[in-house]
A and B are shown apart, each in its own frame.
Chain A
Amino acid sequence: MCIKNSRQLKQVQRDFLTRDKQFTRKALICCGTGCLANGAQAIVDEFRIVMKKKRITGFSFEAVRSTGCHGFCEQGPLVIIEPEGIFYTKVKTSQVTDIIDTTIRKGVVIERLLFTNPVDGQKITHYPEVDFFTHQQRIVLRNLGKIAPHDIKEYIGNGGYAALDKALRRMQPQEVIDEISRSGLRGRGGGGFSTGRKWQTCADVESEMRYVVCNGDEGDPGAFMDRSIMEGDPHAVLEGMIIAAYAVGANQGYIYVREEYPLAVIHVQKAIEDCREIGLLGKNIFGTEFSFDIRIARGAGAFVCGESSALMKSVAGEVGEPRAKYIRSVVKGLYDQPTVLNNVETYANVPIIIDKGANWYCKIGTPKSAGTKVFSLVGKVRNTGLIEVPMGITLRRIIFDVGGGIIDDRPFKAVQTGGPSGGCLPDSMLDLPVDFDTLTANGSMMGSGGMIVMDDLTCMVDVARYFLEFLVKESCGKCVPCREGLYQLHGLVQKVCAGQGSEQDLDRMEQLSEVIVRGSLCGLGQSGPNPLLSTLKYFREEYLEHILHRRCPAGVCRDLIIYTINEKCTGCGACVKPCADVAITGEKKKLHVIDQDKCTQCGACMAVCNFDAVEVH
């Protein structure tokens, strides 16, 4: 089948909807990487086995959909029963028959499978009522968790490729660029560069060849926004890329996917093949003059490969090392041709902008940062996961409304945004609006959307040490300020962690950081000192505490803490086994003691003690 005109596209959509209407209920089973790891595939298989034996009017295995990630992976596997939106978490295979007989057949809710709100302990029945989802605004993630990502008909059925149809038939390439420019869309990969302006520059360069490339490298530790989009809604990314290619006049595209994302590769590959089959990729797309194709390039697995020039070298089969050139890749990029490089999330925004118009889009978010942003919210919040919120929302609302506040109601200490290139913001900044410029102005950055929430048990010196350690390992080693400078900077921070730092060391850190920022070749080095500089700026007393009093107030830095056992000890002996260094002795039912000479401050005893008897000082 080949779609050659708008009518045929509409027909595919209608066919899908008609087929869908015959089901009175549907079961959406999340099959993102997180839920699969928790056994989601077994749930799907169980549905298939059980439905072979049962006949239910208005339901069959065809109405069971393996969807992409909802972002609520820690509660997985998730099963949602539509149309009611009944929300089951941590589902087990043994419960599938019950779900079919009780909920799908009769519409009755199974209380014990419902999600318990961690804030008030109440059971929540429907999916949109969960705080985690209520406060979100899902535009980019609109299809995630709703549609089966490997089925192009389902994407089309939900309005997919209508934007491409509109762009190709009713808009000139320049009109597409103008629409994107007017929408105010800015790159979601880190820098926040205007997407429209980038496309315009590329289109304006005289050239025979042009490329459109999608950055799916996602190297930030703990981030999984782009992975989830590629896995859960690959066609949205492809549609965005095809529209971009039409706008700038490119005939070849690449999606650079990180090696560690096998499922994303499978889904994107399937999506590309399906597009080729129905004529949405390849020659004469939609029966027009426009031809474009996309290939997958597998990432080399290094953080620095996400940097634009390194990525392009890697796509071209060279070593993924940043290239030093004062000429931008939009002008001279992949194979030295003008190249548009955008992030996965950036492309996923494009179809909806074309579909609903720039005027609709730019009303979401703030005047200078339009639209929404997807974050991966992790750390010490009650609800962790993937979230999409309008730009301009405050950090407080993200952490306390979407995230449900800090675990165990401990005090909030800092939030780290922007991954290894970003910074830490303290509680005095909780009411800052989250947008590109505000975060940057305050020493952090949007980055690609990592957000780590920290409580009072987190040591900020240790946080700086952690990120520097990551960057020292990930520096490509090409230029001296980054390779040697970050290494020495890490050494200085480590000295502070060990209680051997001095006040002069703090000044030296700042001076060295400045040279690394100014002197490094690529963004990795140029922004590498950010986690250190921001913690130095907002948590200087904590550094001084380590230096002047050899004390780690959060009780994290091993060289500065001791563990002791207090009189709450019942002598249960639970701590003896985990203590691999056999530092704990004591008779049964009597107070145990820690031999400080043998203790390595691993904290294992504290983690297992049920009586709060182990203390850290």
Chain B
Amino acid sequence: MVTLTINGKQIKAPAGEMLLETIRRQDIEIPALCHHAAVEPFGACRLCTVEITRQSWDGWKNYVTSCLFPVEEGLIVQTHSSEVTRIRCTILDLLLASSPNSRVIQDLASEYGILASSYVVDAAGDDCILCGLCTRVCSELGMNAIATVERGRLKKVDTPFSEPSASCIGCTICAQVCPTGHIRFEERGLKRKIWYKEFKLIACSECGRSLKLTPEMKQYFSERQQLPEDYLEQCADCKQKQTVDRFNRIIDRSEEVI
């Protein structure tokens, strides 16, 4: 355990924990758009920047991203000092110029009092803020179906050569972690389309409704987890119904015996 001060309050935190966790546990709200518990910290959005100092630093201050800065004994942290707020506001202002149509960015910016960007707005700018969450979760799954290509402002997330990727299993996890909802996928009946690739969805062997599961996902799960052969064949409703039926049969049979 280490002891540190956050916004004037003394706090204990487990050694090795990242500052952002500690801060959030105090119910202090700071934005952290590229952070997700499932993947390693990345430090791309810089919104979680906080001010740190120490008694011994003689008034000197430093600015660090709390999502990847481990807590230290004696650290003095300010999460909303005027300089921190200025950095955060400028970043939001810049994001509002590059992704002007994103609701998430608009809402966050307005929380910080920014209603319109003061910079040159890229009207054609899409909602991707390049937080890298999608590519990181996909690689965490071991798929590496998407990655960033190009650099600077031309950078974007894509599959190799903008073609359907052989390794994509259609799990849509990337779309689910995307903080701005930029990754879209279509789903109609037993069809799903994501990243230029069409997937068939497995139908429930009982009722025929979609299991929201691609055969590739099923294979992925069965290869990595010890699941019964037929585990992923029925929808939750049907499974429940089967269970009830089974009980009913047992009850029926016991009645017979009596």
Which residues on A are within 8 Å of B, measured CB to CB?
302, 304, 319, 324-326, 472-481, 483-485, 487-488, 491, 508, 511-512, 515, 518-521
Contacts and interface: CB of A to CB of B under 8 A. Distances in A.
B46 A483 contact: no
A320 to B, nearest CB: 10
Instruction: Give the one of B41, B90, B95 with max A CB within 10 A.
Output: B90
B153 A472 contact: yes
A472 B97 CA distance: 16
A488 B98 CA distance: 10
A477 B63 contact: no
Contact of B43 (A324, A474, A485, A487): A324
B70 interface: yes
B60 to A, nearest CB: 13
Contacts of A319: 147-148
A485 B150 contact: no
B86 to A, nearest CB: 7
A512 B155 CA distance: 22
A485 B118 CA distance: 12
Given A324-B41, A477-B155, 20 more contacts: A324-B43, A324-B65, A476-B151, A476-B152, A476-B155, A478-B43, A478-B44, A480-B94, A481-B90, A481-B91, A484-B98, A484-B119, A484-B153, A487-B153, A512-B90, A518-B63, A519-B63, A520-B46, A521-B43, A521-B44
* Closest 6 pairs between A and B when the two form their complex, measured CB to CB: A324-B43, A477-B155, A484-B94, A515-B90, A475-B152, A477-B152
Nearest to B130: A477
Contacts of B63: 518-519
Nearest to A489: B119
29 contacts: A302-B151, A319-B147, A324-B43, A325-B68, A326-B70, A474-B152, A475-B151, A475-B152, A476-B155, A477-B153, A477-B154, A480-B45, A480-B46, A480-B95, A480-B129, A481-B91, A483-B152, A483-B153, A483-B155, A484-B95, A484-B97, A484-B119, A485-B90, A488-B119, A511-B90, A518-B87, A521-B43, A521-B46, A521-B65
Contacts of B152: 472-477, 483, 487
Nearest to A517: B63
Contacts of A475: 151-153
Instruction: Give the one of A304, A479, A521 with max B CB within 10 A.
Output: A479
A304 B155 CA distance: 14
Contacts of B41: 324
A519 B153 CA distance: 17
Contacts of B86: 511, 515
Interface residues of B, number: 37
A326 B64 contact: yes
A519 B155 CA distance: 20
A486 B239 CA distance: 56
A326 B153 contact: no
A194 B42 CA distance: 29
B100 interface: no
B158 to A, nearest CB: 13
Nearest to A478: B44
A38 to B, nearest CB: 34
B214 interface: no
B195 interface: no
Contacts of B70: 326
B192 to A, nearest CB: 29
B79 interface: no
A480 B108 CA distance: 15
Nearest to A516: B90
Instruction: Give the one of A479, A480, A485, A487 with max B CB within 10 A.
Output: A480
B91 A488 contact: no
A322 to B, nearest CB: 9
